[in-house]
């Protein structure tokens, strides 16, 4: 039996692009952003943070400005955009940690550089990812939090001491835990275990069926608990497109029929092709979350992290239904 849910849709605080539009591309236009955002809002996502990855300052300024202008043109869309997530440029440039980002564009943590980025976002920066082990990362975290920006640790090689230092400085989350790190790490002193152990930090993770295997998702559920978990898609520009070959974040990527988006040459994933609706169904299929748990993971917890009242999220064209045997679907 299907039940209509009271939430307007899910909340995604890490969206890099959709239907061929890359929010970090030099080809981004106002029209392209509006098209991508409106299309995403028809797929079960009620609100999101457009996410810009590590890039040179000139491009970050250009694209933040373009998105701000687009939202001024489209008042309806503006209500669904909760602000920006900057996933960089203050991350690690080390192989494995840097992921699909451009290591040449990585910056050392800088309050001055942060202030410029926040100005270009017209004060709408809501989430900042920082490498916890970077020099002065704690100073930047304190400054960002004082400006009303939530800080997440990620794309780093940090151990427990570095992660604890950032939590003391006001960081409250971990960006896509279990990804954005090398395939081989120290068996004890590594970002994954350090993040799981730091109870002050919520865990952003990508349950798209490719970034994290089922047993790791179950470990997160049991080790961290529902109150710390936040599902994100990390959706790339190829999300919403049919299988094929695409240029994604500067990578020659392949989108497989099963939804896996990867660079065969680098042997790495390059973001996700999933929507929040699909991610939440992956979690439902695990069998270890109640419906209330899933709504916290996909709606209430991300809003709490960025300080947004759930009552402020407007309804969408399609609502969400839930059936125990079939999961979530558009109404």
The predicted-structure confidence for 126-183, as pLDDT tens digits, reads as follows: 999 999 999 999 999 999 999 999 999 999 999 999 999 999 999 999 999 998 887 7
Sorted by sequence, the CB contacts under 8 Å of residue 288 that are 6+ apart come out as: 218, 221, 222
The percentage of residues in the chain with a pLDDT greater than 90, rounded to a whole number, is 85
Provide the pLDDT for residue 105.
95
Task: Give pLDDT tens digits for 196-225.
Answer: 999 999 999 999 999 999 999 999 999 999
Res 25 pLDDT > 90: yes
* Cis amide leading into 89 (omega within 30): yes
The domains of the chain, with CATH numbers, are: 3-330 (3.20.20.140)
Q: Is the CB of residue 152 less than 8 Å from the CB of residue 166?
A: no
| Coil, strand or helix at 32 | helix
| Placement of tokens 């939530």 in the chain | 150
User: What's the distance, CA 8 to chain centroid?
Assistant: 20
What is d(CA 1, CA 268) in angstroms, rounded to the nearest whole number?
A: 40
């Amino acid at each position: 039996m299907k039940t209509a849910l009271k939430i307007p849709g899910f909340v995604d605080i890490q969206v890099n692009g959709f239907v061929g539009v890359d929010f970090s591309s030099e080809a981004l236009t106002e029209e392209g952003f509006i098209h991508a955002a409106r299309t995403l809002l028809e797929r079960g996502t009620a609100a999101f943070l457009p996410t810009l990855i590590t890039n040179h300052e000139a491009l970050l300024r250009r694209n933040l400005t373009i998105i701000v202008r687009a939202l001024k043109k489209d008042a309806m869309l503006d209500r669904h955009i909760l602000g920006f997530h900057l996933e960089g440029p203050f991350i690690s440039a080390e192989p494995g940690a840097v992921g699909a980002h451009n290591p040449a564009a990585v910056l050392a943590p800088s309050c001055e550089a942060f202030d410029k980025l926040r100005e270009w976002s017209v004060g709408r920066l809501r989430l900042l990812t920082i490498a916890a082990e970077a020099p002065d990362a704690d100073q930047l975290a304190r400054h960002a939090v004082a400006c009303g920006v939530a800080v997440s640790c990620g794309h780093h090689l940090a151990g427990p001491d570095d992660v604890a230092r950032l939590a003391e400085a006001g960081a409250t989350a971990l960006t896509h835990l279990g990804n954005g790190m090398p395939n081989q790490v120290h068996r004890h002193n590594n970002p994954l275990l350090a993040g799981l152990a730091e109870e002050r930090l919520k865990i952003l993770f990508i349950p798209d069926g490719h970034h994290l295997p089922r047993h790791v998702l179950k470990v997160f559920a049991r080790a961290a608990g529902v109150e710390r978990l936040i599902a994100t898609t990390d959706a790339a520009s190829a999300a919403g497109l049919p299988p094929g070959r695409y240029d994604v974040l500067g990578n020659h990527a392949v989108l497989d029929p099963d939804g896996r988006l990867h660079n065969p040459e680098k042997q790495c994933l390059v973001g996700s092709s999933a929507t929040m609706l699909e991610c939440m169904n992956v979690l439902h299929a695990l069998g270890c979350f109640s419906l209330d748990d899933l709504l916290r993971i996909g709606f209430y917890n991300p809003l709490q992290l960025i300080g947004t009242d759930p009552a402020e999220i407007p309804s969408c064209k399609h609502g969400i239904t839930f059936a125990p045997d079939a999961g979530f679907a558009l109404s």
